[in-house]
Amino acid sequence: MTEIKELPDVIKICKQLKEQVSCDFVGLAIQNKVGPDVRWHYAVGNLNDKYKRITVRFGKGIAGKIISSGTPMMHTNFPHHVTGKVTDYPIALAEKLNTCYAVPLFFNHVPKGVLLVGNREYRSFNDSERERVLEEAQVLEEILKDYLDFKSGGL
């Protein structure tokens, strides 16, 4: 099976999004086909390859919280003001993100993925940048829906 990181349209969208919202990092996480775990599959602007080894439980970490809530989330001035332990946010720690904005990806009307943009310096993402992230998330949903096939499970 082809890895998400090998899909040219996904790569293109993530790279363009990084430029469009002037961020340091763009990551894509998808819930596993079997079980509640969520794994980071692709990143642009990453400092290292740690994201590939990060798996979080449903409801934990940025990705798990986005998928469990089905709503976007913004963190500024990480690690201050986070709910729970700082270690519950491994992607922010691994990539040294200070600010991030993440939105859910929906497949069959169920949140199963996350698109995250982040910065290593303090800044807030404005309304138009957040809207751009939401728009690109919808494009990714369309590209990935047949590839992921959550009707039979997911990844």
For residue 23, being part of any structural domain is answered with: yes
For residue 134, being part of any structural domain is answered with: yes
For residue 154, being part of any structural domain is answered with: no
User: How many domains is the chain built from?
Assistant: 1
Residue whose C-alpha is closest to residue 103's, from 93, 118, 88? 118
For residue 155, being part of any structural domain is answered with: no
66-100 pLDDT, tens per residue?
Answer: 999 999 999 999 988 788 888 889 999 999 999 99
SS (H, E, C) 67-94: HHHCCCEEECCCCCCCCCCHHHCHHHHH
Verdict on whether the full-model pTM lies above 0.95? no
For residue 55, being part of any structural domain is answered with: yes
102-153 pLDDT, tens per residue?
Answer: 999 999 899 999 999 999 999 999 999 999 999 999 999 999 987 776 544 4
For residue 128, being part of any structural domain is answered with: yes
Query: Rounded to 10 degrees, what is the CA torsion of 19, 47, 136, 57?
Result: -160
For residue 115, being part of any structural domain is answered with: yes
Residue 32 is predicted with a pLDDT of: 87
Structure tokens at 38: 């969520």
Looking up residue 137, the CATH number of its domain turns out to be 3.30.450.40
For residue 63, being part of any structural domain is answered with: yes
Domain encompassing residue 108: 4-148
